[in-house]
Structure 1
Amino acid sequence: MSSQALSTRVVLLAGPSGSGKSSLAARTGLPVLRLDDFYKEAGDPTLPLVPGSTDIDWDSAQSWDADAAVTAITELCRSGHTDVPVYDLSTSSRTGHETFHIERTPLFVAEGIFAADIVERCQSLGLLADALCLRGRPSTTFRRRLLRDLREGRKSVPFLLRRGWRLMRAERRIVARQTELGAYPCNKPEALGRLAAAAAGRCRTPAAPSPSTAAAAAKSGPSGG
């Protein structure tokens, strides 16, 4: 890798759908890579289904191209630019591609519900500054997610209601899983503090906790946000 690759790092920002990842990432003023753009397209035979349903499980990491996401992050750290797909969530399809630039910034954010799934790979490649998992009250997340998805017309109303109810019931398990994968569970103020520390060069890359630690973190409940 070039000298820039040794100084450019990524903060992976995970959390349940609707937890506020996109809005928080925008507040940092850092370049933001949208990991949702690496979803697989409708019709892909590898897409998983929700058990007992004909709905595609877009909340399963199997619906997402982790290899392409890691390649994009690696190229950004190495050269400051990469080619990324433009994804339309309402049609579950890629509508084009664009070149994403971070210029010479030493830090950028990659946010998405599957960000925790690539913590170990980014850490082993020497790319990781920090990994965070936003958590809050499941009822608040449910309301925020539903209003956003309805406003943006992401899917049909029945699908959004089924998905929203399922995710609200599973939210604490989702946080526990992402914590186990190495993302630090926190509310928005603490996340902003850790992002500021990473931007100042004080990386606090977390080690993946044990399953018991992850479960305890999820059961401790929301700490705001």
Structure 2
Amino acid sequence: MSSHPPIPTRVVLLTGPSGSGKSSFAARSGLPVLCLDDFYKEAGDPTLPLVPGSSDIDWDSPASWDADVAVAAIVALCEKGRTNIPVYDISTSSRVGAETLDIERTPLFLAEGIFAADIVERCRDLGVLADALCLRGRPSTTFRRRLLRDLREGRKSVPFLLRRGWRLMRAERSIVARQVGLGAYACGRDEALGRVAAAAAGRVRTRT
């Protein structure tokens, strides 16, 4: 029997503006994926923030998301290889069930979502961070991709999606800057794939 200790499981946090291609990138990576969108708070939660000057809930604010539960799920996956996660329906803004995510002691997995950068420091301090990436592209391309996806999936009403899309397109560069400031490395898809491959090979990047 080998005397080598087991390879610890670590996470690559994948963030970027809504519509930047995180989900398709995660699927292409071939790694197990934890979808951080499943940790949104539910409609009716009194702590949900509003868009300034509007009655719209600001689903792009980290305050609309439960970071503590998300971090706990990441730590459980790193330590045990499995955890129970909520199933969230974005169209109704509610948790509609739960399921078990089992990564079978895989040494690396992805956790993707627009708030992933908000937990970079916590994951680093906990010793579970392999890398933190922020996908970036052209704001106009992101706008089109996001709107087509949200319309196709019926995520919210059309007026809401248009208001949100326009607001996010204007704010995209500042969104990326904020995520970089929180510890994510901004890059395109090809460079991100290279960094994931490096992390999978054991060349862990705990700082960018």
Normalising by structure 1, we get a TM-score of 0.89
Task: Please list, as runs of the form range in 1=range in 2, the aligned pairs for 1:161-200 lying within 5 A after superposition.
Answer: 161-200=162-201
Deviations 1:34-89 (A, max 9, x none): 00000000000000000000000000000000000000000000000000000000
Distance in 2, Cα, partners of 1:189 & 1:119: 22
Give the aligned CA root-mean-square deviation in angstroms. Answer: 0.9
| Corresponding residue SS for 1:70 | helix
Deviations 1:154-188 (A, max 9, x none): 00000000000000000000000000000000000
Distance in 2, Cα, partners of 1:7 & 1:104: 8
Shift of 1:204: 1.8
Q: Is the 8 A contact 1:184 1:206 kept in 2?
A: no
Task: Please list, as runs of the form range in 1=range in 2, the aligned pairs for 1:141-152 lying within 5 A after superposition.
Answer: 141-152=142-153
What stretches of structure 1 of length at least 5 have no aligned partner?
208-225
Shift of 1:104: 1.8
Distance in 2, Cα, partners of 1:30 & 1:189: 16
| Corresponding residue SS for 1:7 | coil
Task: Please list, as runs of the form range in 1=range in 2, the aligned pairs for 1:5-16 lying within 5 A after superposition.
Answer: 7-16=8-17
Q: Which residue number corresponds to residue 219 of structure 1? A: none
Deviations 1:194-217 (A, max 9, x none): 00000111112225xxxxxxxxxx
Q: Aligned partner of 1:63: which letter?
A: S
Aligned residues: 204
Distance in 2, Cα, partners of 1:204 & 1:66: 22
Task: Please list, as runs of the form range in 1=range in 2, the aligned pairs for 1:13-52 lying within 5 A after superposition.
Answer: 13-52=14-53
What stretches of structure 2 of length at least 5 have no aligned partner?
none
Distance in 1, Cα, partners of 2:84 & 2:19: 26
Aligned residues with identical type, % of pairs:
80
Q: Which residue number corresponds to residue 140 of structure 2? A: 139
Task: Please list, as runs of the form range in 1=range in 2, the aligned pairs for 1:31-180 lying within 5 A after superposition.
Answer: 31-180=32-181
Runs of 4+ in structure 1 off by over 3 angstroms are none
